[in-house]
Amino acid sequence: MMKRPSYFIVSGIILLALLGLGSKLFGDPVGTLKWLLIIVAVTAIMIYVVKRFSGSSTAQSANQKAYRKAAKQSQKNQQLRNTSKPKDSNVVTYSFNHSKRKPKHRKKSDVQLTVIDGKKGKKKNRA
């Protein structure tokens, strides 16, 4: 199974990064931990700023709000249905609607189709 060269390049970069992080951790553990905390904090701030001020369209957020509202309403309706009908464990219900359905027969159309005079004798050029 042949893998793409980009797979090996990315794997090599990740391996070198882990090796460098490990050597830095053994050389100066406190400095490395400070460095990692600063990177995590800066990344979190950047993600927050991008999500907060990104050009997300108002239509998308409106659709999201409508979806959340519909989901909540559906959940409430489901809870009302479940609580309003107490089920007895002794009662068994059977549905015969599915087994007794007869296939629908379509009514034949009374439309008479007519041929429109056109280029009946001329053959198409299919080259």
5-61, pLDDT tens digit by residue?
Answer: 889 999 999 999 999 989 998 899 999 889 989 999 999 999 999 888 876 556 667
Those residues whose C-beta lies under 8 Å from the C-beta of residue 69, and which sit 6 or more positions away, are none
Q: Looking at the predicted structure, is the pLDDT value of residue 72 above 80?
A: yes
**CA dist., res. 75 & res. 83, Å (int):** 12
**CA dist., res. 22 & res. 36, Å (int):** 12
Confidence band, pLDDT 50/70/90 cuts, at residue 127: low
Q: Tabulate helix, strand, coil % of the chain (nearest 5).
A: 60, 0, 40
Out of 6-15, 39-48, 85-94, 107-116, pick the least confident: 85-94
* pLDDT, position 110: 77
